Amino acid sequence: MTSGRVLTPKLPPAAPGMAIGLYGGSFNPPHEAHRKVALTALKRLGLDRLWVLVTPGNPLKAHGGLAPLEERITAVRALIDHPRVAVTGVEQAIGTSRTCEVLGYLRSRRPEVAFVWVMGADNLIDLHRWGRWRRIVELAPVAVIDRPGSTFAPLSARAAKVYGRFRVDESDAPALARTPAPAWCFLHGLRSNLSSTALRGV
C-alpha cells in the first residue's frame, strides 16, 4: 500500500550563495566538445559547480535513435570526470524537458543559488525555436560557449538581436551568474569540431 505522497526529485548538492552552471542536452552520445564546453564554463564563469542535465528527449529532435537515459548519464559521467561537475537526469523526475520549466523548477527549489544557463554557440542560433524562449533568457543569465563554425552566426541570431543590449562583455564573465537576468555572454575558448550526430553516423 502506498502513502500517496509525491516524491520530490533529488537534486545535486548545493550550498547557499553558490554559482552553479546548468548545461543541458541529449548527449547522444557525449563527446569531447561537450567536455570542453563544461570545463570552459567552469573556468571562465568562476562557477562553484556545474550541473549537467541529461534530457529524456529534446522536444526539437527525433527520438528514434536516442539511447536510454541511464546509459547516457553513465557515459557523461565517465567523460566529464570532475569533482565540481554533477550529472543528473532530474528532468525526467520533474516530468518535463522544456528548459523554461526546468529553470523555473530549479529556481523555486534553490532560490539561494545563482544559476546560469550554459549552451554551445550552435544552440543560440535556434534558441528562438525553443518553447517560451524569452522566458528562458529572463529566468537566468545565459553563457554561450564558442563552437567551430558558430563564432559569427550566433551573434546574428534572433535571440542575440532581441537581447543585444543585455550582452555582457567577455571580461565580465566571472560575474555573469550573479548578474540579474536578462544577461548573456559569448565566450571564446577551446573548440572542437565533434558533434553527436556525426559520431552516430546519422
List Cβ neighbours of 57 (8 Å cut-off, separation of 6 or more).
26, 63, 66, 97
User: What's the whole-number mean pLDDT along residues 73-92?
Assistant: 96
Give CA–CA dist 25/122, Å, rounded: 12
pLDDT band at 4 (very low <50, low <70, confident <90, very high): very low
Q: What's the pLDDT tens digit per position in 26-74?
A: 999 999 999 999 999 999 999 999 999 999 876 655 555 789 999 999 9
User: What's the whole-number mean pLDDT along residues 77-88?
Assistant: 97
Percent of the chain with pLDDT over 90: 72
Give me the sign of the Cα torsion angle 18, 137, 128, 55. positive
User: What's the whole-number mean pLDDT along residues 165-184?
Assistant: 97
User: What's the whole-number mean pLDDT along residues 69-96?
Assistant: 95
In this predicted structure, the answer to whether residue 166 has a pLDDT above a threshold of 70 is yes
Mean predicted lDDT score pLDDT of the chain: 87
| Contact yes or no for 82/150 (Cβ under 8 A) | no
Q: What's the pLDDT tens digit per position in 108-143?
A: 999 999 999 999 998 999 999 999 999 999 999 999
Is 13 exposed, middle or buried (CB count within 10 Å of its CB: 0-12, 13-18, 19+)? Answer: exposed
Q: What is the pLDDT of residue 29?
A: 92
181 φ/ψ sector (left φ>0, alpha ψ -120 to 50, else beta) = beta
In this predicted structure, the answer to whether residue 107 has a pLDDT above a threshold of 80 is yes
* One-letter amino acid of 139: L
Q: Where are the alpha helices (DSSP H) in 49-194?
A: 69-79, 90-94, 99-109, 121-125, 133-139, 158-162
